[in-house]
């Protein structure tokens, strides 16, 4: 008898264009579902599986589909109605992770199909974070440590580490840190469908090097940079509405873990940082974007095959809810009200946050005589904070003598606020040159930035790639003072600190001895009274696996009937190359992360003396373990 596993990967991509800038006499059509408190959406997923039997008399004894791609209840959405379908009728079971479809004794060529139909109410979701959360995160709960580690497509290399460190500088506010990485990714990685392949998406390291990608690739890089500085983040798969084709499509975004708050959504592709518009339908969350949407396994009597067709996803709007409350006050003013043709004028836009919580709205200039650069900016506002951002207005080159021209300016936010103003230009007005305009904008941006400790080189690293739990770890840190600058600083890794004094051009190497506890992204800090530098490094701590066989069912079987046995294999740390020998049959698994529900059928005569489990497996470093268990 043969047991096989097949993975179905959904390729995720979407593009949104919001807030187009137009001439003053044009009326753009803009669909912005963020204007509504909630949406009622019809969602469906359907998949067909082709059955090909190798020879007459063959049959597929069991075909199982573990579907991980389906709507779940959370803060973003509520399931109003859900129906699970199959043809022919399958045995359908539910768990937190999967909807499982099982067919028995398929004896002819053809197709089977399965799917889900549901009505979902999605909410306009804004996580309320009311106070500063310290960055870097010094302690991460053990259940979130895996979300700080590299994975298959969300990899971490020196270029990613360096880019994240350069973006953050001396940042000490977690929301600011995540926002800065999201904003940099949005601004510097070009959305490009040409990177999409039939086999897989590109890794984060490729996306950073090539500065392009689709939504899941852009999200991968965002998550990689967060993980490189010790911030837990995970990948979310789902659907979203796009006003490029006015329909829903498959999409991927991120969730970032904030201590004492929970998981906070960040959709870098759409520029929604810390919030999601209600057109998002969340279907799956995982440590990596490459995890399968469905897993297929089957047992057959011959060399029989199944062919999985592409999953069909669809969503449509049923109705919209009430309009959202406007809580941003926006004011727009050109730096000069009347200028000559061919001028460049700063447009200053001030945004007041009336809420007692962080918010990062999208601000867009939707009408203007002309703009230098993108018409969209992402702004982070602390509770009750006001902030001013600037655009560069480009005034038309020609104006007939004796005429005064008035050009409309309109600014919108992603939360419904709109403000209008205007600028006049005529040949008799004074010009406003480009250099002066850029100097004003640069001065504004400098006031909003924070300085880091640039007078020192600082890097820390462990002496081994991996440690076993409770082993002593040696962490080495290199410190280099600048040419003309002495240092009087404190170097720390968590609660372990050393005071360092260095003359100009001097270097010093220090070491910390720390007991290995849990894997994670560690941070070293080097600081004086008002500036700080960071060094981030991975610690991989391997636990000795503890394996248990639980929930063995049924307790009794009839001697004359075929017995269907189920059990759960649980491990407190990931294991690989797992072999389970029952004495009469064997099962093999490449890896088990936490627990796995296993089923098999056998003759009751094999169970007369009970069910024995002879297990052989390896930890992540390749060390081999054996374990024997039995159930009467």
- Write the CB contacts of 583 (distance below 8 Å, at least 6 apart in sequence): 606, 612, 614
**Average confidence (pLDDT) over 573-578:** 90
CA distance 202 to 224: 13
User: What share of the chain in percent tops pLDDT 70?
Assistant: 93
What residues pair up with 602 in beta bridges, in sequence order? 563
193 — pLDDT class (breaks 50, 70, 90) = low
31 — pLDDT class (breaks 50, 70, 90) = low
**Does position 310 have pLDDT exceeding 80, yes or no?**
yes
CA distance 418 to 365: 10
CB 476 within 8 A of CB 461: yes
Among 200-204, 551-555, 563-567, which stretch is predicted with the lowest mean pLDDT? 200-204
What secondary structure does DSSP assign to 515-583, as a single string? Answer: E----EEEEEEEE-SS-EEEEEEEE-EEPPP-EEEEEEE-S---TTSPEEEEEEEEESS-EEEEEEE-S
26 — pLDDT class (breaks 50, 70, 90) = very low
Helix (H) or strand (E) holding 60: strand 60-67
**Does position 490 have pLDDT exceeding 80, yes or no?**
yes
Look at the alpha carbons of 622, 625, 631, 632 in this order and tell me if their dihedral is positive or negative: positive
β-pairing, 487-493 vs 520-527, is antiparallel
CA distance 15 to 377: 17
**Does position 177 have pLDDT exceeding 80, yes or no?**
yes
**Average confidence (pLDDT) over 275-300:** 91
pLDDT in tens, 226-238: 999 999 999 999 9
Place of tokens 């499982």: 100
CA distance 91 to 205: 43
**Does position 11 have pLDDT exceeding 50, yes or no?**
no
**Average confidence (pLDDT) over 342-367:** 92
**Does position 89 have pLDDT exceeding 80, yes or no?**
yes
**Does position 17 have pLDDT exceeding 60, yes or no?**
no
For residue 35, the model assigns a pLDDT of 84
Rg (CA), the chain: 29
pLDDT in tens, 401-456: 878 898 999 999 988 778 898 898 999 889 999 999 998 888 777 666 555 788 88
Helix (H) or strand (E) holding 493: strand 487-493
For residue 285, the model assigns a pLDDT of 93
CA distance 352 to 21: 23
**Does position 30 have pLDDT exceeding 50, yes or no?**
no
Name the token pair of 425.
């230009």
pLDDT in tens, 518-549: 777 777 888 888 788 888 888 888 888 988 89
**Average confidence (pLDDT) over 68-72:** 91
Residue 445 Cα distances to 247, 387, 439, angstroms: 38, 11, 10
**Does position 225 have pLDDT exceeding 70, yes or no?**
yes
**Average confidence (pLDDT) over 588-613:** 88
Average pLDDT, the chain: 87
Helix (H) or strand (E) holding 296: strand 294-300
pLDDT in tens, 124-164: 888 889 999 999 998 888 899 999 999 999 999 999 999 99
What secondary structure does DSSP assign to 342-357, as a single string? Answer: T-EEEEEEEEEE-SSS
For residue 197, the model assigns a pLDDT of 40
Among 188-202, 368-382, 495-509, which stretch is predicted with the lowest mean pLDDT? 188-202
Among 292-301, 337-346, 445-454, 464-473, which stretch is predicted with the lowest mean pLDDT? 445-454
For residue 201, the model assigns a pLDDT of 75
CB 411 within 8 A of CB 350: no
Triad 232, 158, 257: Cα angle to 5°: 5
For residue 446, the model assigns a pLDDT of 66
Beta strands in 107-170 (DSSP E): 110-123, 125-126
Among 3-12, 165-174, 210-219, 255-264, which stretch is predicted with the lowest mean pLDDT? 3-12
**Does position 192 have pLDDT exceeding 80, yes or no?**
no
What torsion, rounded to 10 degrees, do the Cα atoms 32, 35, 41, 47 define?
40
Q: Please state, as a whole number, how many other Cβ atoms lie within 10 Å of the Cβ of residue 437.
A: 22
**Average confidence (pLDDT) over 41-63:** 92
End-to-end CA distance of the chain: 26
pLDDT in tens, 244-287: 778 898 999 999 999 999 999 999 999 999 999 999 999 999 99
For residue 447, the model assigns a pLDDT of 60
For residue 448, the model assigns a pLDDT of 62
Asked if the bond preceding 2 is cis, omega within 30° of 0, the reply is no
CB 164 within 8 A of CB 136: no
For residue 445, the model assigns a pLDDT of 76
Of 445, 352, 314, nearest in space to 392 by CA: 445
CA distance 53 to 402: 85
200 — pLDDT class (breaks 50, 70, 90) = low
């Amino acid at each position: 008898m043969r047991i096989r596993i097949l993975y179905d990967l959904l390729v995720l991509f979407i593009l949104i264009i919001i807030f187009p800038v137009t001439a003053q006499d044009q009326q753009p059509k803009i669909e912005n579902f963020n204007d509504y408190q909630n949406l009622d959406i019809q969602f469906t997923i359907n998949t067909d599986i082709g059955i090909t039997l190798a020879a007459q008399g063959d049959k597929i004894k069991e075909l199982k589909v573990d579907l991980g791609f389906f709507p779940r209840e959370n803060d973003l959405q509520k399931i109003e109605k859900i129906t699970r379908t199959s043809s022919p009728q399958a045995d359908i079971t539910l768990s937190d992770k999967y909807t499982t479809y099982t067919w028995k004794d398929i004896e002819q060529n053809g197709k089977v199909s399965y799917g889900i139909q549901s009505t979902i109410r999605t909410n306009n979701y804004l996580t309320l974070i009311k106070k500063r959360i310290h960055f870097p995160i010094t302690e991460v709960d053990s259940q979130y440590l895996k979300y700080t580690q590299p994975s298959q497509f969300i990899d971490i290399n020196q270029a990613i580490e360096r880019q994240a460190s350069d973006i953050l500088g001396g940042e000490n506010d977690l929301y600011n840190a995540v926002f800065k990485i999201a904003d940099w990714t949005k601004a510097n990685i070009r959305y490009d469908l040409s990177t999409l392949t039939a086999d897989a998406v590109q890794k984060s390291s490729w996306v950073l090097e090539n500065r392009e990608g689709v939504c899941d690739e852009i999200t991968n890089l965002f998550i990689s940079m967060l993980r490189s500085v010790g911030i837990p983040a995970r990948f979310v798969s789902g659907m979203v509405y796009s006003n490029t084709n006015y329909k829903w499509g498959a999409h991927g975004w991120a969730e970032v873990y904030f201590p004492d708050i929970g998981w906070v959504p960040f959709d870098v592709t759409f520029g929604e940082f810390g919030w999601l518009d209600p057109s998002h339908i969340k279907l799956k969350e995982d440590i990596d974007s490459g995890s399968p949407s469905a897993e297929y396994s089957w047992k057959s009597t011959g060399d029989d095959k199944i062919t999985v067709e592409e999953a069909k996803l669809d969503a449509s709007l049923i109705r919209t809810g009430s309009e959202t409350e406007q809580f941003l006050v926006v004011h727009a003013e050109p730096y000069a009200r009347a200028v000559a043709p061919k001028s460049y004028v700063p447009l200053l836009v001030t945004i007041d946050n009336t809420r007692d919580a962080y918010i990062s709205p999208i601000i867009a200039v939707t009408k203007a005589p002309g703009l230098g650069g993108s018409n969209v900016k992402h702004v982070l506002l602390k509770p009750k904070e006001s902030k001013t951002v600037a655009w560069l207005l480009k005034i038309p080159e020609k104006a007939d003598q004796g005429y005064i021209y008035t050009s409309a300016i309109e600014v919108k936010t992603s939360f419904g606020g709109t403000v209008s103003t205007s600028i006049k230009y005529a040949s008799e007005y004074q010009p406003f040159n480009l250099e002066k305009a850029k100097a004003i904008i640069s001065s504004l941006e400098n006031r909003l930035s924070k300085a880091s400790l640039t007078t020192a080189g600082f890097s820390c690293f462990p002496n081994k790639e991996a440690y076993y739990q409770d082993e002593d770890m040696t962490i080495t840190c290199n410190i280099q003072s600048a040419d003309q600058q002495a240092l009087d600083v404190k170097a720390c890794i968590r609660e372990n600190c050393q005071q360092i004094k260095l003359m100009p051009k001097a270097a010093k190497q220090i070491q910390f001895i720390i007991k290995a506890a849990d894997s994670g992204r560690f941070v070293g800090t080097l600081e004086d009274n008002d500036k700080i530098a960071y060094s981030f490094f991975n610690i991989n701590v391997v636990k000795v696996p503890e394996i248990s066989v639980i929930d063995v069912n049924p307790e009794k079987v009839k001697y004359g009937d075929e017995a269907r046995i189920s059990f759960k294999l649980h491990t407190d740390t990931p294991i690989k190359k797992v072999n389970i020998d029952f004495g009469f049959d064997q099962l093999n698994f490449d890896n088990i992360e936490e627990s796995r529900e296993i089923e098999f059928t056998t003759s009751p005569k094999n169970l007369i003396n009970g069910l024995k489990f002879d297990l052989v497996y390896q930890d992540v470093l390749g060390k081999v373990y054996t374990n024997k268990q039995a159930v009467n």
